[in-house]
Chains A and B, each alone.
Chain A
Amino acid sequence: MADASLTAQTSDRAIVRPKLSRDDWIMRTVMVAIGVFLLIAVLLPLYTMMSKSVENKDGGFVGFANFAEYFSTPALFNSAFNSLSISILATLIILVVTFIYGYALTRTCMPFKWFFKLVAMVPLLTPSLLGGISLIYWFGNQGVLKDLLFGEKIYGPIGITMGSSYWVFPHALMIVITALSITDARLYEAAEALRTSKLKTFLTVTIPGCKYGLISAGFVVFTLVFTDFGVPKVIGGNYNMLATDIYKQVIGQQNFQMGAVVSVVLLVPAIIAFSVDRIVQRKQVALLSARAVPYTPKPSRGRDMSMLAFCSVIALIIIAMIGMAQYAALVTFWPYNLEFSLNNYDFDVMDGGGWEAFWNSIEMALYTAFFGTIIVFTGAYLMEKGRGFTVGRSAFHMVAMAPLAVPGMVLGLAYIFFFNNPANPFNFIYGTMGILVVATVVHFYTVSHLTAVTALKQMDPEFESVSASLKAPFYKTFAKVTVPVCMPAVFDISIYLFLNAMTTVSAVVFLYSSDTTLASVAVLNMDDAGDVAPAAAMAMMIAYTCAAMRIVQVVLTRGIAIKTQAWRNQ
Chain B
Amino acid sequence: MDSAARSFLKIENLVKKFGDFTALQDISLDVYDGEFVCFLGPSGCGKTTLLRAIAGLDIQTHGRIEQDGKDISALPPAERDFGIVFQSYALFPNLTVERNVAYGLENRKLPRAEIDVRVAELLQLVGLPDQGTKYPAQLSGGQQQRVALARAMATSPGLLLLDEPLSALDARVRVHLRTEIKDLQRRLGVTTIMVTHDQEEALTMADRIVVMNHGVIDQVGTPQEIYGSPATSFVADFIGSMNFIPGTVAAKGRVTVGDFPLDCDTTGFNEGDAITVSIRPEDINAQDMEHDDNVVDGEITHLQFMGSFYRAELGGAAFSGHDVQADFSVNLVRRKNVVLGSKLPIRLPADHIQLYPPVED
A17 CA to B13 CA in the complex, in Å?
Answer: 16
* Among B76, B88, B107, B138, contact of A462 (Cβ-Cβ < 8 Å): B88
A465 CA to B53 CA in the complex, in Å?
Answer: 12
Q: Using CB atoms, name the residue of chain A closest to B86.
A: A462
The answer to whether A472 and B90 have CB atoms under 8 Å apart is no
Using Cβ atoms and an 8 Å threshold, which residues of chain A touch B1? Answer: none
Question: Does B95 reach chain A (CB closer than 8 Å)?
Answer: yes
With A18-B59, A467-B103, A470-B151 already in contact, the answer to whether A23 and B94 are too (CB < 8 A) is no
A158 CA to B94 CA in the complex, in Å?
Answer: 54
- State how many residues of chain A have any CB contact under 8 Å with chain B: 39
Chain A 464-482: CB-based contact to B (< 8 A → 1; otherwise 0): 0111111111001100110
The answer to whether B94 and A564 have CB atoms under 8 Å apart is yes
A481 CA to B100 CA in the complex, in Å?
Answer: 11
Chain A 384-403: CB-based contact to B (< 8 A → 1; otherwise 0): 00010000000000000000
The answer to whether B135 and A480 have CB atoms under 8 Å apart is no
Q: Using CB atoms, name the residue of chain A closest to B64.
A: A12
The answer to whether A481 and B137 have CB atoms under 8 Å apart is no
Stretch of B77-85, B113-121, B288-296, B316-324 contacting A (4+ beta carbons < 8 Å): B77-85
CB distance from B268 to the nearest CB of A (A): 24
Question: Does A68 reach chain B (CB closer than 8 Å)?
Answer: no
Using Cβ atoms and an 8 Å threshold, which residues of chain B touch A16? Answer: 59-63, 73-74
Q: Using CB atoms, name the residue of chain A closest to B74.
A: A19
CB distance from B92 to the nearest CB of A (A): 5
Chain B 302-341: CB-based contact to A (< 8 A → 1; otherwise 0): 0000000000000000000000000000000000000000
**Residue from B78, B82, B103, B136 whose CB has the most chain A CB atoms within 10 Å:** B78
Question: Does A484 reach chain B (CB closer than 8 Å)?
Answer: yes
The answer to whether A469 and B63 have CB atoms under 8 Å apart is no
The answer to whether A15 and B61 have CB atoms under 8 Å apart is yes
Question: Does B358 reach chain A (CB closer than 8 Å)?
Answer: no
Using Cβ atoms and an 8 Å threshold, which residues of chain B touch A472? Answer: 103-104, 106-107
A12 CA to B78 CA in the complex, in Å?
Answer: 24
Using Cβ atoms and an 8 Å threshold, which residues of chain B touch A473? Answer: 107
Q: Using CB atoms, name the residue of chain A closest to B72.
A: A19
With A16-B61, A16-B62, A16-B73 already in contact, the answer to whether A469 and B83 are too (CB < 8 A) is yes
The answer to whether A21 and B13 have CB atoms under 8 Å apart is no
Using Cβ atoms and an 8 Å threshold, which residues of chain B touch A195? Answer: none
CB distance from B243 to the nearest CB of A (A): 39
The answer to whether A485 and B94 have CB atoms under 8 Å apart is yes
Using Cβ atoms and an 8 Å threshold, which residues of chain B touch A568? Answer: 93, 137
Question: Does B55 reach chain A (CB closer than 8 Å)?
Answer: yes
The answer to whether A463 and B90 have CB atoms under 8 Å apart is yes
The answer to whether A21 and B76 have CB atoms under 8 Å apart is yes
Question: Does B263 reach chain A (CB closer than 8 Å)?
Answer: no
A470 CA to B100 CA in the complex, in Å?
Answer: 11
The answer to whether A23 and B62 have CB atoms under 8 Å apart is no
The answer to whether B55 and A481 have CB atoms under 8 Å apart is no
Question: Does A363 reach chain B (CB closer than 8 Å)?
Answer: no
* Among B60, B61, B86, contact of A465 (Cβ-Cβ < 8 Å): B86
CB distance from A104 to the nearest CB of B (A): 37
CB distance from B96 to the nearest CB of A (A): 8
Chain A 438-467: CB-based contact to B (< 8 A → 1; otherwise 0): 000000000000000000000010110111
Using Cβ atoms and an 8 Å threshold, which residues of chain B touch A485? Answer: 93-94
- How many A-B residue pairs lie within 8 Å, measured between CB atoms? 114
The interface residues of chain B, by DSSP majority, are classed as loop
The answer to whether B103 and A567 have CB atoms under 8 Å apart is no
A499 CA to B12 CA in the complex, in Å?
Answer: 58
Using Cβ atoms and an 8 Å threshold, which residues of chain A touch B50? Answer: none
Using Cβ atoms and an 8 Å threshold, which residues of chain A touch B157? Answer: 469
Q: Using CB atoms, name the residue of chain B closest to A484.
A: B94
The answer to whether A470 and B73 have CB atoms under 8 Å apart is no
Question: Does B152 reach chain A (CB closer than 8 Å)?
Answer: yes
Using Cβ atoms and an 8 Å threshold, which residues of chain A touch B107? Answer: 470-473, 476
The answer to whether B74 and A15 have CB atoms under 8 Å apart is no
The answer to whether B92 and A480 have CB atoms under 8 Å apart is yes
Using Cβ atoms and an 8 Å threshold, which residues of chain B touch A21? Answer: 76-79
Question: Does A197 reach chain B (CB closer than 8 Å)?
Answer: no
CB distance from A484 to the nearest CB of B (A): 5
CB distance from B257 to the nearest CB of A (A): 41
With A12-B64, A16-B62, A569-B137 already in contact, the answer to whether A468 and B74 are too (CB < 8 A) is no
**Residue from A13, A22, A462, A476 whose CB has the most chain B CB atoms within 10 Å:** A462
The answer to whether B86 and A23 have CB atoms under 8 Å apart is no
A435 CA to B86 CA in the complex, in Å?
Answer: 47
A194 CA to B151 CA in the complex, in Å?
Answer: 55
Using Cβ atoms and an 8 Å threshold, which residues of chain B touch A564? Answer: 94
The answer to whether A566 and B135 have CB atoms under 8 Å apart is yes
Question: Does B57 reach chain A (CB closer than 8 Å)?
Answer: yes
A21 CA to B108 CA in the complex, in Å?
Answer: 18
**CB neighbors of A among B210-246 (8 A):** none
Question: Does A4 reach chain B (CB closer than 8 Å)?
Answer: no
Chain A 7-37: CB-based contact to B (< 8 A → 1; otherwise 0): 0110011111111111110000000000000
* Among B61, B64, B82, B93, contact of A469 (Cβ-Cβ < 8 Å): B82
With A12-B12, A24-B76, A465-B84 already in contact, the answer to whether A470 and B92 are too (CB < 8 A) is no
Chain A 325-366: CB-based contact to B (< 8 A → 1; otherwise 0): 000000000000000000000000000000000000000000
* Among B62, B73, B155, contact of A471 (Cβ-Cβ < 8 Å): B155
* Among B63, B76, B104, B106, contact of A18 (Cβ-Cβ < 8 Å): B76
The answer to whether A12 and B77 have CB atoms under 8 Å apart is no
Using Cβ atoms and an 8 Å threshold, which residues of chain B touch A467? Answer: 103
The answer to whether B90 and A567 have CB atoms under 8 Å apart is no
With A17-B74, A23-B76 already in contact, the answer to whether A470 and B93 are too (CB < 8 A) is no
Using Cβ atoms and an 8 Å threshold, which residues of chain B touch A567? Answer: 93-95, 135-138
Chain B 36-56: CB-based contact to A (< 8 A → 1; otherwise 0): 000000000000000000011
CB distance from B115 to the nearest CB of A (A): 13
Question: Does B75 reach chain A (CB closer than 8 Å)?
Answer: yes
A140 CA to B300 CA in the complex, in Å?
Answer: 98
Q: Using CB atoms, name the residue of chain B closest to A477.
A: B92
CB distance from A180 to the nearest CB of B (A): 31
Q: Using CB atoms, name the residue of chain B closest to A463.
A: B90
Chain A 484-499: CB-based contact to B (< 8 A → 1; otherwise 0): 1100000000000000
Using Cβ atoms and an 8 Å threshold, which residues of chain A touch B62? Answer: 12-16
Using Cβ atoms and an 8 Å threshold, which residues of chain A touch B90? Answer: 460, 462-463, 465-466
A22 CA to B13 CA in the complex, in Å?
Answer: 28
Q: Using CB atoms, name the residue of chain B closest to A570.
A: B137
Chain B 239-267: CB-based contact to A (< 8 A → 1; otherwise 0): 00000000000000000000000000000
A561 CA to B12 CA in the complex, in Å?
Answer: 51
A473 CA to B80 CA in the complex, in Å?
Answer: 14
Q: Using CB atoms, name the residue of chain A closest to B83.
A: A469
Q: Using CB atoms, name the residue of chain A closest to B155.
A: A470
CB distance from A208 to the nearest CB of B (A): 34
Using Cβ atoms and an 8 Å threshold, which residues of chain A touch B152? Answer: 469
A465 CA to B84 CA in the complex, in Å?
Answer: 9
* Among A8, A19, A466, contact of B76 (Cβ-Cβ < 8 Å): A19
Q: Using CB atoms, name the residue of chain A closest to B13.
A: A12
Using Cβ atoms and an 8 Å threshold, which residues of chain A touch B136? Answer: 567
The answer to whether B86 and A481 have CB atoms under 8 Å apart is no
Q: Using CB atoms, name the residue of chain A closest to B84.
A: A469
Q: Using CB atoms, name the residue of chain A closest to B26.
A: A12
The answer to whether A481 and B78 have CB atoms under 8 Å apart is no
Q: Using CB atoms, name the residue of chain B closest to A483.
A: B94
A565 CA to B14 CA in the complex, in Å?
Answer: 46
**Interface CB pairs A-B, < 8 A, 12:** A12-B63, A16-B73, A462-B86, A462-B90, A466-B151, A467-B103, A469-B157, A470-B104, A471-B155, A472-B103, A485-B93, A485-B94
* Sample of 12 more A-B contacts, CB < 8 Å, known A15-B61, A470-B154, A566-B137: A12-B63, A16-B59, A18-B59, A18-B74, A20-B76, A469-B77, A469-B82, A469-B84, A472-B104, A481-B94, A564-B94, A567-B136
Give 9 closest A-B pairs by Cβ, nearest first: A470-B104, A21-B76, A567-B135, A462-B90, A468-B77, A12-B13, A18-B59, A19-B74, A481-B92
